[in-house]
Chains A and B, each alone.
Chain A
Amino acid sequence: MDIILDGIRQAFILLVTFDPEVLGITWFSLKVSGTATFISIFIGMSLGTVVALTQFPGRRFVVSLINTGMALPPVVVGLFVTIFLWRNGPLGFLEILYTPAAMILAQAIIATPIVMGISLASMQQLPKKLRLQILALGATRLQMVLILIREARLPLLAAVMAGFGGVISEVGASIMVGGNIKGYTRVLTTATVMETSRGNFDIAIALGIILFLFAYLINLVLTTVQQRERPR
């Protein structure tokens, strides 16, 4: 019990004194996961919107693929990204394995299906007749899509948060393609793993608290969004 209480006390001291190492790791985590999420918004949201608003043969199959992609195990992504970026792998010439770029790549691959799947669902949840109503108001196709995105803005925000939540908390891919290099590719999760294995529970708990706060903030937004009603 002492170990835990002591760890928590130490962790709070690290947090309130803005320990440079903890702060640095947090900031770097935000940068990597933020960039990866940003990329996934571009790809995931636009493709999700297209799939939501169009009809084409094999659409069901595509939707099932996207939904499966939402549950991609990060270690599997890490494995394949590592293979591709390996010195004599297909993308080995890029020489980015064990760099932040590789981590961003892997995290973007994890986040994109999550963002795509939730965007798709958010757009499809809008009443079908809303599209007719928007067209009847004289909108062009582009105006219609923009209005629909505006109407789904909160669930779309949920998509972004879920994508970000997925990558900030994953450890498998980051450790495999980043290597947990101190001051270079070390993020909150990989650092937590390492400090725990070393027995440095105070730092591990401090990092854990920060991760937990992120998780709480993300879920706060998601809950708020879910509880909102649509207009009649």
Chain B
Amino acid sequence: MKNILEAKNLKTIRGGSLLVDVPGIGILEGETLSIIGPNGAGKTTLLQALSFLMKPSTGEILFRGKTVGAGQRILEYRRRLAMVFQEPLLFDTTVFGNVASGLKIRGVGGAEVRRIVEEQLERFGITPLRNRSARTLSGGEAQRASLARAFAIAPEILFLDEPFAALDPPTREAIVTDLEKVLAETKTTTIMATHDRNEALRLSNRVAVMEGGRIAQIDRPAVVLNQPVDEFVASFVGMETIIEGEIRGVNETVLIVRVNKSEVEVVGRGKPGERVVLCIRPENVSLTVPDGSEKTTARNVFRGRIMKIIPLGLFHKIEIACGFPLVSYLTTQALEDLALREGVEVAAAFKATAIHVILKSGS
């Protein structure tokens, strides 16, 4: 696959601060790339720079191999893409008029407009709303109209800036499902900014994690999820336990890592004396009430005390102190079966293969 969009040495500086600093990024034709990161990481600014809605301070953007320069070239480029924001930003006219607006701007004629608009209304399930004033729409209906308006111009690249962030969960789910279907059908290259990692993992072929204006990691969702490159990415993709240690011994593929006063066995690569960061997903940590005869296939079993139990809807987040801080998730049912409370002693077990190792650079 070829790059449809490429950016080199991209920097956006506003009011003296560097908002985006991306030495290079390529977007493949037909892929869905999600840009995730906390608020203020520069996701929106990067989208606006890539779409030339806000000219980057430095850098070059190539669309299908050609530099997007100045003046007329920028307009030509913008006419080949579409953008959907968190707010639907509809015009004060009917739903039909809204969906038709991009076409009208391009001077497309009457019958053609009607054909395309009807098709998009149908696609996003808002045909019955065609003559309704945009002022009377609910949040979900308005965002559907906004998506239909974007797809009406058959964009070569679709930019989505937190498109579902303002919607309630059922509405969001319905729209994400529809968008998933439309993207599979049209194969539109899509770049989506979101702070919701689940949304990103679900919709994308690749995920870029941003922090402080830089792209910390860009890869397939499974790789970003399981092999984060640094502690920031690890915490953002849900590695609740992130602990530092030092490699003490290497036994074939198993590393013995000293964490505080405990030793953790980890499958990974490294040399004795190197400092590492260990990342463990909470769902990979199992808890039992110790009875002196712990039998588990896990190499790592640690006794500790429950410091805190935080309810998270269907799950409970359990924070354990066992020589180092460890986090596990339990279902409400499991929590009740084990009769766990804060202050209770537990045995926490996790497999040597369930740990992701990050080598600390410069050690």
Contacts and interface: CB of A to CB of B under 8 A. Distances in A.
B298 to A, nearest CB: 51
Given A127-B89, A133-B89, A231-B142, A138 B153 contact: yes
B137 A135 contact: no
Residue picked from B51, B82, B85, B92, most chain A C-beta under 10 Å: B92
A137 B102 contact: yes
A135 B188 CA distance: 20
Interface in A125-153: 127, 129-130, 132-133, 135-140, 143, 147, 150-151, 153
A130 B106 contact: no
B90 A129 contact: no
A135 B78 contact: yes
A132 B53 contact: yes
Contacts of A147: 91, 101
Residue picked from A127, A132, A151, most chain B C-beta under 10 Å: A132
Given A136-B78, A140-B75, A232 B53 contact: no
Interface of A: 127, 129-130, 132-133, 135-140, 143, 147, 150-151, 153-154, 228-232
Query: Is the contact region of chain A dominated by helix, strand, or loop, or is it mixed?
Result: helix
B105 A143 contact: yes
Contact of A231 (B54, B101, B137, B159): B137
B257 to A, nearest CB: 48
A129 B163 CA distance: 14
Contacts of B83: 132-133, 136
Contact of A129 (B85, B91, B101): B85
Interface of B: 48, 51, 53-54, 75, 78-79, 81-83, 85, 87-92, 101-102, 105-106, 133-135, 137, 139, 142, 149, 153, 159
A136 B88 contact: no
Contacts of B133: 231
A139 B81 CA distance: 12
A135 B52 CA distance: 10
Contact of A138 (B87, B106, B137, B142): B106
Contacts of B90: 231-232
B142 A232 contact: yes
Nearest to A229: B135
Nearest to A133: B89
Residue picked from A133, A143, A154, most chain B C-beta under 10 Å: A133
A205 B108 CA distance: 57
Contact of B79 (A138, A150, A229): A138
Contacts of B75: 138, 140
Contact of B105 (A139, A153, A229): A139
B87 A232 contact: yes
Contacts of B149: 137
A132 B159 CA distance: 12
Contacts of B51: 136
Contacts of B135: 228-231
Q: Which 5 A-B pairs rank lowest in CB-CB distance, beginning with the nearest?
A: A231-B134, A136-B83, A138-B79, A133-B89, A231-B90
Nearest to B52: A135
B137 A232 contact: yes
Nearest to B48: A132
A136 B92 contact: no
Contacts of A129: 85, 87, 89
A129 B47 CA distance: 14
B270 to A, nearest CB: 47
B85 A138 contact: no
Contacts of B82: 136-137
B91 to A, nearest CB: 6
A180 to B, nearest CB: 44
Given A133-B85, A139-B105, A232-B137, A151 B91 contact: yes
10 contacts: A129-B85, A132-B85, A136-B82, A136-B159, A138-B78, A138-B153, A147-B91, A150-B91, A231-B90, A232-B137
